[in-house]
Amino acid sequence: MLMHVFTVWLGGAYRVVISSYANFHKALIENNKITSKRSDVGLPGWRKEIFAVRPGIARHILWKDAKKARQQTATFLNNEGMGRTVMEPHVLNEADKFIQFFIEPRLESGEGLDTITPLSLAATNILVNTLTGNSYDYDDPKAHDHLNLIHEEHKHNVTFAASIPFTKWIPGDPFHSAEAERNYSETFKKILSNFDNIVAKRRRELQDGCSPNLMLDHMLLQYRPELGDQERFDANVGSMIQQMYAGSTASGSYLCWALLYLSVYPHMQERLHNEIDEVIGEDSVPEYSLREKLPYADAFVLETFRHSECIHVLSPRTTESELVIDGQVLPAGVELMFNLDSVYNDPDIFDNVHEFNPERFLTGDVTKKKACIEAAFGLGRRKCIAIPLGKMEVFLILLRIMQQFSVTYEGDTKPPLINMGGINSKPYPHRIVFTRRNKEIRK
């Protein structure tokens, strides 16, 4: 019998691991008022100091001074992120820029493309443009430097340095814990400094009379004197942007996985091509509102979210009062850890969990299956603020690429469909070869 709720001694504290979608829902949806708090258990001293002045988005009580900004931004994304007015043109424009810069120059030579960094840049650029009105050129060193900082933060943050301190003393540093302790502080502070500068610059522009029309403006204009110190409020906004940027790299990872799956499963690629040709055609532009008419494309994206397991755990929460989960009584003050793998592979919901099969989202209790995928973006009060944007990015960019190209993997050896681990888990190194689709065959 599987244990869905159990306790582990980790990092000098007892932590309760929650597994299965039913228990996720119980803890994070039905009891969200009890499980919204985040503790600082296991955090190094330097990070506790940062979070003392940035409680809103980090790991402190109820993030009251940033709550308004978060709510307004979530409303903005829900209204605009589903392809109605603002966000969809940004996504499609970036998809075309990606094709022009990375795919078309390789068509004649048949050179393969390592897609992970280019796709992460595309997803990040969409967010940059939405937040600030600007965007990076793909060959701009600043864009690569910024993305490398995010990847560095992910690499160091995923180690055991904070949770299992003794690992840094193991000879050879097999868990990279000592390396993380040396480098993570500097990297994280650089990232926050970058976003603080973005926020400060935009605050000055608004104060000088600039017309508010950006997502960042919606966040900054939520400040009121009764919320406390403006500098503290803006610091929390900077932290929220940092998390959104980090999330945009997950969109890049999902797109990388989607192209890999299509290269490995040509019959799925053929079915996706046929659906795109029938519903969108050769010259029309994909629209997010067409998802209902593109059931296989939607199912393929959902299965990519599930099978790739890009994100393995949610950020820990701390119970504010007693909570009963799966018959287990959890007292106040217990740190909860959420095992996302148990949701992606929940045998009560998904059959043959290790098989990549988009058709699972076309039959059975599809609503419940989709709800499991939502868990990857978080549930309850602290779910990812940019869920609508992330889902739309993956769907539209993939369709725009596959509308025009076929994909194969480079070489004779099929790439392994297992991830490398990490916060946003990527596939093992591989290269994708793009071929322009033959118009006559399509007709």
Strands (DSSP E) found in 218-334: 313-318, 323-325, 328-330
Which has more confidence, 438 or 208? 208
Q: What is the mean pLDDT of residues 96-101?
A: 94
Q: CA torsion, points 146, 149, 154, 157, in degrees to nearest 10?
A: -140
Q: CA torsion, points 383, 389, 393, 396, in degrees to nearest 10?
A: 120
Helix 230-264 and helix 177-207: axis angle, to 10°?
120
How far CA 105 is from CA of 99, 102, 288, 428, 435, in Å, comes to: 9, 6, 28, 24, 11
177's tokens = 């814990």
Average pLDDT, the chain: 79
Longest dimension (CA), the chain: 66
Strand partners, 432: 113, 409
Q: What is the mean pLDDT of residues 285-295?
A: 93
Q: What is the percentage of the chain residues whose pLDDT exceeds 70?
A: 71
384 is in an annotated binding site: yes
Q: Identify which of 174, 96, 93 has the alpha carbon closest to the alpha carbon of residue 403.
A: 96
Tell me, rounded to whole angstroms, the distance of Cα 157 from its chain centroid.
Answer: 15
Confidence at 271, pLDDT banded by 50, 70, 90: very high
Q: What is the 3-state secondary structure (H, E, C) of 385-396?
A: CCHHHHHHHHHH
Give the per-residue pLDDT at 337: 85
How far CA 103 is from CA of 87, 253, 326, 434, in Å, comes to: 23, 17, 50, 7
How far CA 191 is from CA of 32, 48, 237, in Å, comes to: 30, 16, 13
Confidence at 385, pLDDT banded by 50, 70, 90: low
User: Which amino acid, one-letter code, is at 163?
Assistant: S
Confidence at 81, pLDDT banded by 50, 70, 90: very low
Contacts of 357 (CB under 8 A, 6+ apart): 303
178's tokens = 């000592």
Confidence at 339, pLDDT banded by 50, 70, 90: confident
Give the per-residue pLDDT at 424: 60
Confidence at 1, pLDDT banded by 50, 70, 90: very low
Give the per-residue pLDDT at 400: 97
Range among 61-65, 123-127, 155-159, 329-333 rated most confident: 329-333
Q: What is the mean pLDDT of residues 230-245?
A: 71
Domains of the chain: 52-309+356-442 (1.10.630.10)
What digits encode the pLDDT tens for the residues 154-198? 554 444 455 555 566 677 777 666 666 666 667 667 777 777 888
Contact yes or no for 310/257 (Cβ under 8 A): yes
Contact yes or no for 279/290 (Cβ under 8 A): yes
Q: What is the percentage of the chain residues whose pLDDT exceeds 90?
A: 30
* Cα 427 to Cα 253: distance, rounded to the nearest angstrom: 8
Q: What is the mean pLDDT of residues 121-148?
A: 75
Residue 417 pLDDT greater than 70, yes or no:
yes
How far CA 106 is from CA of 112, 113, 298, 413, in Å, comes to: 7, 8, 28, 21
Least confident of 59-63, 240-244, 305-309: 59-63
348's tokens = 């009560």
